[in-house]
Amino acid sequence: MLSIDSAHLNEQFETVFSAIPERSFFAPGRINLIGEHTDYNGGHVFPCAITFGTYGLVRKREDELIRVYSLNFEDVGIISFPLTDGTYDAQHDWANYVKGVVALLRADGHAVGGFDFLLAGNIPNGAGLSSSASLELVTALMINEVYGLGLERIALVHLGQRVENDFIGVNSGIMDQFAIGMGKADHAILLDCDTLHHDYAPIKLDGYDILIMNTNKRRELADSKYNERRTECDTALGLLQQHFDVASLGQLSVETFETVADELPETLRKRARHAISENERTKLAFNALEDGRLDAFGQLMNDSHASLKSDYEVTGRELDTLVAATQSCDGVIGSRMTGAGFGGCAIAIVDKTATEAVMQTVSTVYEAEIGYAPTFYIASVGDGARELVEEEVK
């Protein structure tokens, strides 16, 4: 994982762009404690921002040229495009996220100028901790501040989602951008994705670690079955609306759903059951964590993974192996996949005295079953996207 410090970033900016950066920004990644594939179904999620993320150093230009460079993709070099180029270009690779922010801001009538932008992220590659939303938010915040657009934070959150949906072509919900834009240190966010009503819950895990476990399986969200799952849920909702006056699956209870569940085709029934039951689990998990009932919280995590495996079918061999191995270890309160699935990461709540042993056991089991090792990270819960003072870059 890339090591990041202020001096290195400033030196790299000067080397790449032959100039000194003017301002620095940061947007975190996120983990979702529970509430998976509920955001686009109008349900609840329970994410938090983490201290891994994307750093961006910028200098305004006097012309209309945009130049971007990533220390994570140095072999790609500087990617340049004019301010007026508002089209997706596969050759521009990761820079399309930056281009999408610029294009949508300009389409909305905002005055944006050229800039040189150096980026560096320490979110593990392919981990499903929302590196794309982190890149969207660090870009949106940077442009908002540098060009004095005066947009409120929630507008930047919506902008990031629009980039993902309309420019990149991934039909994702708003959870990732919301958690990254609105994160608060040592708190998780219970977010109603239908109304955007949200409550912060202090994460009181005294004596426990949040363990992130990367499958190290390559995953491409845009090429996965993510959009297929969303279409299946939309189809299931249409059938359920013949029985109930609801605008989203998140407005149904499990009890109500089960009265007509048998009338849905099997696949649609399973998809809807997950979305509806996961929404209920998420609200229960918020209450459990707020009350300090960690055992109840952990069981809800375990139940969440089982539903994602059996009803939503987005886990796969790698995630299932990680989670099963983790759940079998002493000191583990609960474990589940986090993110879209199809690879990426799982998380676990682990007694600090058992963390090292858990990592060793899980690594041994996973490598024997899968053929290569997972990677582990201890998560710290941090603040959302922000401009940095120099001492914050470390």
Cα gap 82→67, rounded to integer Å: 9
Which residue is listed with tokens 């994160």? 183
Q: Order of strands across the sheet with 187-192?
A: 44-45, 187-192, 198-202
Residue listed under structure tokens 């990592």: 359
The one-character DSSP state at 113 is -
Q: 127 among the known binding-site residues?
A: yes
Q: Is 318 annotated as a binding residue?
A: no
Order of strands across the sheet that contains 65-70: 79-82, 65-70, 115-121, 47-60, 23-32, 386-387
70 is in an annotated binding site: yes
Question: How far is 297 from 129, CA to CA, in rounded Å?
Answer: 21
Structural contact between residues 116 and 19, judged by C-beta atoms closer than 8 angstroms: yes
3-state class (DSSP) for residue 24 = strand
**Cβ–Cβ < 8 Å for 274, 308:** yes
Per the annotation, the verdict on 320 as an active-site residue is: no
Does the annotation flag 119 for ligand binding?
A: no
Task: Give rounded-to-5 percent helix, strand, coil for the chain.
Answer: 45, 20, 30
36 labelled binding-site residue:
yes
**Per the annotation, does 129 bind a ligand?**
yes
The closest of 11, 26, 1 to 383, measured between CA atoms, is 26
Q: In whole angstroms, what is the distance from residue 317 CA to residue 296 CA?
A: 26
Dist. CA 125–CA 71, nearest whole Å = 13
Backbone angles phi, psi at 30, to 5 degrees: -145, 155
Q: Is 267 annotated as a binding residue?
A: no
Reading the block at residue 388, the tokens are: 């940095």
**Euclidean distance between CA atoms 287 and 300, whole angstroms:** 11
Is 77 one of the annotated binding-site residues? Answer: no
Identify the active-site residue in 176, 192, 194, 209: 176
Rg (CA), the chain: 21
CA 187/CA 360 separation, integer angstroms: 29
Neighbours of 258 (CB within 10 A): 14
Numbered residues of the known binding site for substrate: 36-39, 226
Numbered residues of the known binding site for ATP: 70, 126-132
Numbered residues of the known binding site for Mg(2+): 132, 164
Numbered residues of the known binding site: 36-39, 70, 126-132, 164, 226
Residue positions annotated with a catalytic role: 176
